[in-house]
Structure 1
């Protein structure tokens, strides 16, 4: 069971807390993924009706229990119990705002439950400052209860054992004990009070036990500060996973990579780089420094220096930047150079084409071995509609050429510097001027060879 029924008012956001982005994914998705990893027989999430948007991210197979009134975690647990299938013997309770739990944490908890058969097993950790977490109470070493932070008047010196992000219950005991849960002075029902009920229950084994976990597992996300702390931990985990898989990340502390990103071995990520969304980086590519890559695919042996890529696709051995901007719909073939201050949008670029610098290529199709001179602009918008420019193989576009779409430059076609091209350029043709007009092909400057020389 995953509890996600709280309204999350401390987040101060119109977006439900569970849907807040965390390293490129909704916060709740981390909890659901961890739950899926242990292959439970049944999956239930508890939601408030005000958070129906959460339904959009639930994977198949999850049932929903509705908590109409936010009366605490114990009340939320009671809403889910009627949905339990007959064959369920143990109930694992997770929280939708604890994204740092790992499958290893849960397997360790379940292993202890399997071995010791308690009524309640609580995943705990030790913190110097217990903050807002429930604190474990012991007597002669045995767990006797949990006291909530708002009810606790104890002054602590030294580390404190606190409730972390998971609790496992014996199903039969839970169904008998939950109706006996009393309302707290704050008006809520705390699931943690079940630990005290368990400790007082005659049981064949120790009725209430704790299982230790790393301190970060206790981090629940309640506000923006908590979210930033969780983000730092998740990104650190992502960087470690990638580096152990063969990716070079020069400075993980200044590199931000989403959990959804895939990077092949021998790629090198330079400092101050952001890679997000469904991006994929090929083997041997160098990204950054100061690059921003979102939802893009970058092939092997590419270099992206201080540039922005959004929903773009690069082939192999493509060089981009510095200070280029590839916008959505851009598709670049192998061995292309895109230099500084070039912007491409919804453009297809053929092999070995060069776009040196200071150019805008929008709604265009460039063939192979095309040269785009500095200052070239495809004028794709007539004030009402967008139009397409086609520049075919081996064309040479001179500096400061304005291509008034729709227009086509044929194979081997050329434009003179400063031309305004509003008519198609024939194959092998040369146009110059404003507006551009065809002129005779240039004579070869090289003297023809003479037989016998």
Structure 2
């Protein structure tokens, strides 16, 4: 198989975004748009990827990490100049180099693969990824001859009336013979109004040398969208959301209102799961079969087990077991684990806590830094008092315990197996196994005292 390389152009600041965040780092469904490009390119199995960075180079490289090598375009002098920055890493390579913009997050692996295959099967020196546009205004037109060969690319402002009627447009993505690319780049001139070196000029240079230039037409114009402003960013997110939701539905997931359901690319959802409107499932979340999420739930980087329900709740970086009921209006904070058949009810907050199998925290409670065993019942209003202003401490509630309503468990403290804590208690010492702990002031009734108070108030 021919060797393959990739150059990703990600140096632009993106002034039309009107943002302090660098253009290619703007997220599309939670992932920087340049990361989408890299992920799709990586799936084609290229031998080396080089990303050209400029504005915000440190931030861009920090987000991308080790998925690519980097070169810096110190001055933004055009797309041709950007590709020139990769010469030292690629000039001695033989094979095919794809050049793609970091602001085109919707192009799929399948399209990249088809572009590579077309280019290599044709034995071309250059292949342009093209698309048919209903309204090609503003796009460079791909002009073919009578033999259907690509002759040149004409920018909209330079096109004649007849050329402007052409609806096949240049998407800005190309495949090149690597040696031909860097040889032609040496001949690209900046003799133009902007004083920049344009990559499309390589096409004309190769044609003048009688090199073969072809075009690979993608049937989906939408996926070639370049994101240059906030409007296009919203369009890209909408298109990707639709694509992802349709994939899940075709795999057997029930999504009743896909227009109002947001699922990130890295999410795994098994068949017969049900996703209700207003739900966001993000990060590397996994939702197992027969689970039900929403409406209006946020599940970020969580595992949700078989048959579990997360209703109108927020869960982050945690594991939810099988047949668990969460919500409504529960908050499961990071590093928590909810065991099978457990319940986390309304207005309950769980933080860095393990809830054992079959245990219940039904409502209006806070469990922070706690280890809760199996078959434990935590009464309404119970709080683990885990923070002394400087340090966090652990509360342990062992199996089969019963915690009465409005109890304060002052950590570090252990409630022994099978024990009871009376409602309204403030527990500061360990409770032995199979014990009843009552830690509250003795009730005193002063008969007639209320009448005396009322009489004083009248005086």
Same fold (TM over 0.5): yes
* 2:303 corresponds to 1:297: yes
The number of residues matched between the two structures is: 434
Aligned mate of 1:247, from 242, 253, 264: 253
Deviation of residue 74 (structure 1)?
Answer: 0.9
1:18-29 alignment runs, 5 A limit: 18-29=24-35
1:287 alignment counterpart: 293
Please say which of residues 216-225 and 174-183 is displaced more in the overlay: 174-183
Are the equivalent residues in 2 in contact too, given 1:25–1:260 (CA < 8 A)? no
* Secondary structure, counterpart of 1:115 in structure 2: helix
Q: Kindly tell me: are residues 41 and 321 of structure 1, through their superposed partners in 2, closer, same or farther at Cα, counting changes over 3 Å?
A: closer
Are the equivalent residues in 1 in contact too, given 2:93–2:179 (CA < 8 A)? no
1:209 alignment counterpart: 214
Using the size of structure 2 for normalisation, the TM-score is 0.87
Using the size of structure 1 for normalisation, the TM-score is 0.88
2:10 alignment counterpart: 4
* 2:206 corresponds to 1:198: yes
Please say which of residues 23-32 and 368-377 is displaced more in the overlay: 23-32
1:235 alignment counterpart: 241
* In structure 1, C-alpha distance between the alignment counterparts of 2:104 and 2:296, rounded to whole Å: 32
1:384-403 alignment runs, 5 A limit: 384-403=390-409
Deviations 1:389-422 (A, max 9, x none): 2211111111122222222222222122222222
* 2:92 corresponds to 1:86: yes
Please say which of residues 218-227 and 13-22 is displaced more in the overlay: 13-22
1:406 alignment counterpart: 412
* Secondary structure, counterpart of 1:339 in structure 2: strand
Are the equivalent residues in 2 in contact too, given 1:163–1:218 (CA < 8 A)? no
Are the equivalent residues in 1 in contact too, given 2:142–2:169 (CA < 8 A)? yes
1:56-67 alignment runs, 5 A limit: 56-58=62-64, 60=66, 62-67=68-73
Runs of 5+ consecutive residues of structure 1 not aligned to the other structure:
438-453
Aligned mate of 2:170, from 139, 144, 163: 163
Deviations 1:39-88 (A, max 9, x none): 33433222226412222344657333321210000111222233225341
Aligned mate of 1:182, from 173, 189, 193: 189
2:422 alignment counterpart: 416
* In structure 2, C-alpha distance between the alignment counterparts of 1:48 and 1:344, rounded to whole Å: 43
Please say which of residues 135-144 and 5-14 is displaced more in the overlay: 135-144
1:441 alignment counterpart: none
* Secondary structure, counterpart of 2:86 in structure 1: helix
Runs of 4+ in 1 over 4 A off after TM superposition: 57-61, 138-142, 149-159
Q: Kindly tell me: are residues 11 and 426 of structure 1, through their superposed partners in 2, closer, same or farther at Cα, counting changes over 3 Å?
A: same
* Secondary structure, counterpart of 2:189 in structure 1: coil
* In structure 2, C-alpha distance between the alignment counterparts of 1:136 and 1:210, rounded to whole Å: 9
Are the equivalent residues in 1 in contact too, given 2:141–2:166 (CA < 8 A)? no
* In structure 1, C-alpha distance between the alignment counterparts of 2:160 and 2:388, rounded to whole Å: 72
* In structure 2, C-alpha distance between the alignment counterparts of 1:186 and 1:150, rounded to whole Å: 14
2:151 alignment counterpart: 144
* Secondary structure, counterpart of 1:427 in structure 2: coil
* In structure 2, C-alpha distance between the alignment counterparts of 1:436 and 1:411, rounded to whole Å: 26
